[in-house]
A and B are shown apart, each in its own frame.
Chain A
Amino acid sequence: MTNSNGHPSSSPSALISVRGLTMAFGDFVVMRNLDFDVNRGDVFVIMGGSGCGKSTLMRHLLGMLEPAAGEIFYNGESFTRASYEQRETFLRGFGVLFQGGALWSSMTLAENIALPLEQYTSLGTGEIRAVASLKLALVGLRGFEDYYPAEISGGMRKRAGLARAMALDPDILFVDEPSAGLDPISSRLLDDLILELQGSLGTTFVVVTHELPSIFTIATNSIFLDTNTRSATAGGHPIELRDHSEDPAVRAFLRRGESEHE
């Protein structure tokens, strides 16, 4: 696999830089030669049809899968070539909201949020409890500290998952399919929450989704993964892409396959 850019190097201002990334399972290539930057404060959306490798890309960004080729940089430092210990420090600056929330089922909501705080801060029990309550309040779950994940609804689980992802005030929050399993209103509320956190805390978001309303509401930047070409065919602001992309596949995706001239 040759890299079109020659030597991989990260752009100086970007928070996340991906250079010549090829993702593969054995001989099966999912995506080849991805190049993109995520700037600080962006809500960066990874979009594309089902099964195109959106979640796989997120797993690569989190170091849960190793690239077949290419490199990922955070703040200009290589994540791909980092040692196990160095990766731990990178990961501490990340928060992840998994598709189903992935709350630990044997712990209450407060305990779920407390675990990363106990691990990485020197706060006392009472303080941790206060922080956990605040995070739950931020996602609209005031008073649900002592509930178990099984006792609340799917939408609430998702919001609680977001509260846990925010526990350590991460620089980057990865969100996998925020709208999956949510009704349009809950989904909208979650989008608003993402925008609010991005605006107020300056958190950078990397969001995997194929929900158009969500994409147009939150994205400030995006990348489109095309299953047919196995490469990223477009990047930029989604509204821009919908109206001016040269790639018909991208325009079709962003218009739900409807014709451009009604």
Chain B
Amino acid sequence: MSERVSLPDGAKVSLERAGEALIVGLGGTWQIQAYLPGTTAVEAALDASPRPTGVRYDTGELGGWDSAVLTFLQGVEDAADERGIPVEREGLPDGVRRLVELARAVPEREGAHVDKAPESWLVRVGRYGFSVWDGAIGELSFLGQATLAFGRFLRGKASYRRSDLRLLIQQTGADALGIVSLVSFLFGLILAFVGAVQLQQFGAAIYVADLVAVGMVRDMAAFMTAIVVAGRSGAAFAAQLGTMKVTEEIDALRTTGISPMEFLVVPRIVALVVMMPLLTIYADAMGILGGYVVGTGLLHISPRAYMQQTFSALSMSYFIPGVMKGTVYGLLVALAGCKQGMDAGSSASAVGDAATRAVVKGVVAIIVACGLAQVISWVFGV
């Protein structure tokens, strides 16, 4: 590097014995981009009997050099140290000698190397068991803290910024209208098609209106909206909080005496719990519209008959549970997103992992809750 000699000859290493000592000769031009000689030959020479009592360098033939030389010398000295053979660095050019000394000035830290011995399956099963247990405890304590913070929010004692809450409500609610419209319209349309195939065989095509209305209002509007919101807002919550964790913003809140639970988590939960019922009602309407398009357009049901059939099928006993389910799903999505964000590790990929886990956990929670709701409504005959 210091003397850039553009000789075509590459790095050369020669090994000679001068009495007791081993002389390592370096020649040619050493360039890291080109080629790096190994130290196997040097190690063999150090092990040869009779063993050399010292290592010296001869760099008379050395042309240009860069880190390639240093890497090689580091290998030579490591090998010599291992065997307890002293090395004399007098033969090296000034710059090289100083850098080698610099590289060897700090001894390798004891225990700095991470030992990664493979563990037996028993250990792994045990670890997994503990991690599941710890995870469950973690979920519970998060839920507990969130509940306490929510209690303070209801009593008006939580510290948060109203403008944050308004922005969150806008982001999770109003900004989601487009995608919720599309998904629930198409879902109503799909339900209508699926029903039409069966019902037309009995000449009962008009009941497509019932199927779509009840299906959307009782379950599917809330379900599909929740899935969309898990992908949008759940992931966004995890990424936001995870990034704040990485940049120590959450620690900064804590040291300012502000509970991150109140300041960050509760507004997000509130935003989703408030917006999910509204989105669900909106999705009900869009789904029915999807069914209406199929019913009047393809099944030749008159618009008025379709609407009459729809309204006669619907009742509050479908509508209220549907909206309640939407609210619960919103709560689950917000909890999953915030929990994963708050638990995120401190690297860029950890934030990505947190967002992924938030969506997966959110979706699984929605499906489990939906299944439970079916069983409960069956048992109680709602």
Contact = CB atoms under 8 A, between A and B. Distances in A.
A120 B346 CA distance: 29
A122 B103 CA distance: 24
Contact of A105 (B2, B38, B112, B348): B348
B309 to A, nearest CB: 57
Interface string A120-139: 11110001001101110110
A147 B114 CA distance: 8
A5 interface: no
A150 interface: yes
Contact of A200 (B68, B95, B104): B95
Contacts of A130: 36, 71, 74-75
B349 A106 contact: yes
B346 A105 contact: yes
Interface string B1-25: 1100000000000000000000000
Contacts of A133: 74
B347 A121 contact: no
B369 interface: no
Q: How large is the interface on B (under 10, 10 to 19, 20 to 34, 35 or more residues)?
A: 35 or more
Contacts of A146: 113-114
Given A130-B74, A131-B71, A138 B36 contact: no
Secondary structure dominating the interface of A: loop
A137 B104 contact: yes
Given A105-B349, A150-B345, A135 B106 contact: no
Contacts of B105: 140
Interface string B60-99: 0000001110110011000000000000000000111011
A106 B348 CA distance: 7
A196 B70 CA distance: 14
A74 interface: no
Given A138-B99, A150-B347, A144 B109 contact: yes
Contact of A169 (B1, B74, B106): B1
Contacts of A122: 33-35
B349 A127 contact: no
A121 B68 CA distance: 12
A203 B1 contact: yes
14 contacts: A104-B348, A105-B348, A106-B349, A130-B74, A134-B70, A134-B74, A138-B103, A142-B112, A146-B114, A148-B347, A169-B32, A196-B99, A200-B94, A201-B1
Interface of A: 104-106, 117, 120-123, 127, 130-131, 133-135, 137-138, 140-150, 166, 168-169, 193, 196, 199-203
Interface of B: 1-2, 32-36, 38, 66-68, 70-71, 74-75, 94-96, 98-99, 102-109, 112-114, 345-350
Given A137-B103, A200-B2, A202-B95, 8 more contacts: A105-B347, A106-B349, A121-B33, A123-B36, A131-B67, A150-B346, A201-B2, A201-B66
Counting from the closest, the 8 A-B pairs by CB-CB distance are A105-B347, A143-B112, A200-B95, A202-B2, A106-B349, A137-B103, A143-B108, A140-B106
